[in-house]
Amino acid sequence: MDLGLTDRVCVITGSTVGIGLATAKLLAAEGARVVVSGRTPERVKRAQAESGAALGVVCDLGAPGEPERLIAETKAALGRVDVLVNNVGYAEQRAFENVTDEEWDASWQLNVMSYVRAIRAAVPLMKEQGGGVIVNVSSTAGKRPSTGMPDYTVTKAAVLSVSRLVADLYARDGIRSNAVTPGPTLSEAWLGTGGLADQQAARTGKSRDEVLAAVGAGRPLGRLAEPEEIASVIAFLCSDRASYVTGAAWSADGGTVPIII
């Protein structure tokens, strides 16, 4: 199936590992000119090589000005921005009463404001071009709160609101905006050293493998997602095959959230 992505310039934030890297690989395989981004030169260089991306940009997207620089460098190097996939994010398991103001702010800056800033920078370019696509990676936690990750949950709900707001604001400019809400995925967020599996194991006294097995068993499909499975949904929403889809929040969670929205 031709997704109509040949030569489209696709910017993906947080794309050196996991869902972001899987998305970069898939979009590049579809003929897109992909831009990968991350905080460290080594990871960005590796992701660019692995995915076949046209450009790699080192940036700290939680800092003001950095999402805007990512979009500006893309425009300077590749001439346009057709697709923006906001994927960068951070999650940590902690009790609501223990989350400090500083931690709330750090989560907000990375998980929400990086999206807002990148969208704000990309929209004028897309309007000039006559259209574009924005896909924002939220989470099941955005639809159903995860009590063990309070700040993450609130920020991911905000991402859904931003996605719908942008869809309503810019539909007549030919800009589509959608969100994807993945469930637990076999990516660095869960599998990395000190990641969610390790955190939950330390809190519960279970082994890391026991945690992963239990989390997978808690999905109706009985397993965690592969990053490529989430990337496939993102790629569809980026494509011409989804040309009449905007303002949606697509669940890709193995049936985790039992609601029809």
Is 38 found in the same domain as 53? Answer: yes
pLDDT > 70: percent of the chain: 99
pLDDT above 80 for 111: yes
CATH number of the CATH domain containing 14: 3.40.50.720
CA pair distance 18, 38, nearest whole angstrom: 12
pLDDT above 90: residue 248: yes
pLDDT of residue 261: 64
pLDDT at 56 exceeding the cut of 90: yes
Burial class from Cβ neighbours inside 10 Å (0-12, 13-18, 19+) for residue 32 reads: buried
Asked if residue 260 belongs to a domain, the reply is no
Judge if 58 and 146 occupy the same domain.
yes
Measure Cα distances from 76 to 70, 73, 95, 218, 238 in Å.
10, 5, 44, 46, 22
Whether residues 102 and 173 share a domain: the answer is yes
Indicate if 25 and 58 belong to the same structural domain: yes
- Mean pLDDT, rounded, of the chain: 95
Q: What is the pLDDT of residue 202?
A: 87
Q: In this model, does residue 123 exceed pLDDT 80?
A: yes
- Local structure of residue 226 (DSSP, 8 states): P
State residue 195's pLDDT score: 85
Q: Determine if residue 206 is left, alpha or beta; phi over 0 gives left, psi from -120 to 50 gives alpha, anything else beta.
A: beta
Q: What is the mean pLDDT of residues 10-33?
A: 97
In the structure encoding, which two tokens stand for residue 38, read together? 């991350």
The rounded distance, in Å, linking the Cα atoms of 3 and 103 is 40
Are 179 and 189 contained in the same domain? Answer: no
Mean pLDDT computed over 148-162: 97
Residue 34 is assigned to a structural domain of this protein = yes
Q: Which residue has better confidence, 56 or 213?
A: 56
Does 168 lie in the same domain as 147?
Answer: yes
The DSSP line for 116-163 is HHHHHHHHHHHHHHT-EEEEEE--HHHHS--TT-HHHHHHHHHHHHHH
Find how far residue 131's CA is from the centre of its chain. Answer: 21
pLDDT value for 209: 87
pLDDT, average across residues 74-92: 97
Amino acid 79: pLDDT: 98
Structural domain for 201, as ranges: 185-224
Residue 133 burial (C-beta neighbours within 10 Å; 0-12, 13-18, 19+): buried
Contact assessment for residue 80 and residue 121, using Cβ atoms and an 8 Å cutoff: no
Q: What is the pLDDT of residues 181-199, one digit of tens each?
A: 999 998 888 888 888 888 8
Query: Is 54 in the same domain as 85?
Result: yes
Quickly state the pLDDT bin for 259 (edges 50, 70, 90).
confident
Q: Are residues 123 and 211 in the same domain?
A: no
Q: Most confidently modeled of 41-45, 91-95, 201-205?
A: 41-45
Do both 190 and 136 map to the same domain?
Answer: no
H/E stretch holding 84: strand 83-86
Residue type, 3: L
Residue 80, pLDDT score: 98
Residue 50 lies in a domain: yes
Q: Is the pLDDT of residue 83 over 90?
A: yes
**Catalytic residue ranges:** 152
- Quick one: 70 and 194 in the same domain? no
Question: What CA–CA distance (Å, rounded) separates 21 from 208?
Answer: 24
